Amino acid sequence: MLAALWLLAGGVQAATTELPSQHYPVRHGELTPRERAIAVNAWQYFVANYQPTTGLVNAVNKYPSTTMWDTGSYIGALVAARELKIIDKAEFDQRMIKLLKTLNTLVLFQNEMPNKAYNTITAQKVNYLNKPGDIGFSALDIGRMLLWLKIVKERYPEYGNSIDNIVLGWDFTHTVDDCGTLFGAYVGPDKKPVYVQEGRLGYEEYASAGYQLWGFKTCQGSRPEPYSLANIYCVLVPYDTRDPRLTSQHNYVVTESYLLHGLEMGWDKSDDREDRVNEFSHPWMKNFADRVYQAQENRYLITGVLTARSEHQLDKAPYFVYDTVFSDGFNWNTITDKGKYVPEVSAISLKAALGMWVLWDSAYTDRLLDTIENANEKGLGYYEGIYENGDGPIREFTGNNNGIMLEALLYKQEGRLLKFNTDKPKAHDFAPSLWEKRLVDAFEENNTKRNRPFISSTPGVKNWCEQTGVAQRTEPSCQSCKCAACQNEDAPIKLPPVAMSCLKP
């Protein structure tokens, strides 16, 4: 049936073959001693960069600043460390209690959402130079945080109360619009906040999943459109067609966005409570991820360059690059945030390599693991990457890199990281969480003021409303009056062809 869909594309000669990566299983099972050692090494980063005053962890080694994205990665690392028994419950609890306190008391940007950056020692809002500053918020960073808060809430319901309070403190008015598009904020020249659509194919849908888990409708944000295909070593790789020449955002295709959705959401739809290995219910994430993976494996097979691309830090100027499979018109583009081409700093990203290793069991990812397994320093964690040109390691250490590596190893042991604490949310006696209780209360003013979503009623919620006499807040019946573009939300996705005819077995 899929083969029939592939024939849809106009003049591109669709190969009727599938990509090999579509048949590589994920790795699943107890960690071997070798894999456990990697987890222990990666955790060293979070030992070295922990800030006891706030419970936060530096995003980059020794630099006391972090973002919501990187704090999401830290939470991932913390969960993995506990589940892989690198730390015990006591240490986990001590870290988690402090962290959730800090997140609950963060001073927000414009009293809306968490600022783009915070000082990890003082928890003050800062700019990118780590000087006090109100600089805006990132809808993507917050999406990742929402996703991890949900995972913690479901895995460890004892933290549900603290976590719900964090999210109840946020104001989503300017973050999610009526059509489910995500917006970030920056401060304009007149010092007023400017809200702009944020997110491109891959990251946009990953972040949207975080919002969906809290009941938001992200219809536009979750759609793959607008996209086109790039022919990369015969693999047709989708990229966002919103034009980087006309907007300030690059349309990079990297491993990380697809990888994180795979690890955390299992490439499943956000409402999929089933958790089965090698079954993926998201209509296209797995398919697009396979293409991004296959382009990289093909590059190795065709050019001999080991490839695992992601955005990453550098240990020298320009300090940060989008090291991509495709961006701004070019395959294998490596660009600074200003768009300058810097091919000399392209690298094997360790988080990408280990993530690919766990999500695609193949000879190629075995080789990737052999390449990176000892690319660490004692007491500091894993290097950010290994330069493709042979210049050795990127001697920089980050929470995001080491956190995602820990996530990957936990995925091997447990499968999808999002585990619901009960499979019976529809049971009559299922107790709604604080979040649900607030959101269904028709007399809770902040529900409208902070643009909180309407959550679907369950027998448990209904039962609770009846018992406590709460008038239930219900969604207006006319769905499409909110957003005309979102009427066909459930229309089936037509997948484009995966390969050019040049890819012959």
| Least Cβ distance, residue 504 to another protein (angstroms) | 15
Per-residue burial over 160-189, b = 16 or more CB atoms within 10 Å of its CB, e = otherwise: bebbbebbbbbbbbbbbbebbbbbbbbbee
Question: Which of 328/377 has CB closer to another protein?
Answer: 328
16 binds another protein (CB under 8 A): no
Question: Which of 1/246 has CB closer to another protein?
Answer: 246
Distance in angstroms (rounded) separating the CA atoms of residues 131 and 422 = 44
| Least Cβ distance, residue 502 to another protein (angstroms) | 8
Query: Binding residue for another protein (CB under 8 A) from 10, 29, 492, 505?
Result: 10
HSE-CB for 435 with a 13 A CA cutoff? 27
444 — phi, psi (to 5°)?
Answer: -80, 110
229 binds another protein (CB under 8 A): yes
Question: Which of 136/238 has CB closer to another protein?
Answer: 238
| Least Cβ distance, residue 485 to another protein (angstroms) | 19
| Least Cβ distance, residue 341 to another protein (angstroms) | 5
| Least Cβ distance, residue 231 to another protein (angstroms) | 5
DSSP state of 318: T
Amino acid at 412: K
9 binds another protein (CB under 8 A): yes
329 binds another protein (CB under 8 A): yes
- Compute the radius of gyration of the chain from its Cα atoms: 22
Question: Which of 7/277 has CB closer to another protein?
Answer: 7
Query: Binding residue for another protein (CB under 8 A) from 178, 315, 328, 377?
Result: 328
Q: How many residues bind another protein (CB under 8 A)?
A: 20
4 binds another protein (CB under 8 A): no
Which residue reads 């209360």 in tokens? 441
Which residue reads 């972040």 in tokens? 207
Query: Binding residue for another protein (CB under 8 A) from 63, 128, 319, 330?
Result: 330
Query: Binding residue for another protein (CB under 8 A) from 2, 3, 7, 13?
Result: 13
Helices (DSSP H) in 326-388: which residue ranges? 350-359, 363-372
337 binds another protein (CB under 8 A): no
Find out whether 121 and 64 touch, Cβ atoms under 8 Å.
yes
Query: Binding residue for another protein (CB under 8 A) from 1, 4, 11, 504?
Result: 11
Burial grade of 505 (CB within 10 A; 0-12, 13-18, 19 or more): exposed
- Strand 330-331 relative to strand 376-377: parallel, antiparallel, unpaired? unpaired
228 binds another protein (CB under 8 A): yes
In this structure, the dihedral spanned by the alpha carbons of residues 257, 262, 267 and 271, taken in order and rounded to 10 degrees, is: -90
What Cα–Cα distance (Å) separates residue 257 from each residue in 208, 473, 492? 12, 35, 23
| Least Cβ distance, residue 9 to another protein (angstroms) | 5
Query: Binding residue for another protein (CB under 8 A) from 192, 245, 338, 504?
Result: 245
Q: Is 330 helix (H, G, I), strand (E, B) or coil?
A: strand
Query: Binding residue for another protein (CB under 8 A) from 209, 230, 348, 455?
Result: 230
Contacts of 171 (CB under 8 A, 6+ apart): 108, 111, 112, 113, 449, 450, 451
- 342-381 mask for another protein (x: CB under 8 A)? -x--------------------------------------
| Least Cβ distance, residue 494 to another protein (angstroms) | 12
37 binds another protein (CB under 8 A): no
Q: How many CB atoms lie within 10 A of CB 338?
A: 7
Q: Which one of the spans 238-246, 344-352, 402-410, 480-488 is the region binding another protein (CB under 8 A)?
A: 238-246
* Positions that interact with another protein (CB under 8 A): 9-13, 228-231, 236, 243, 245-246, 328-330, 341, 343, 500, 502
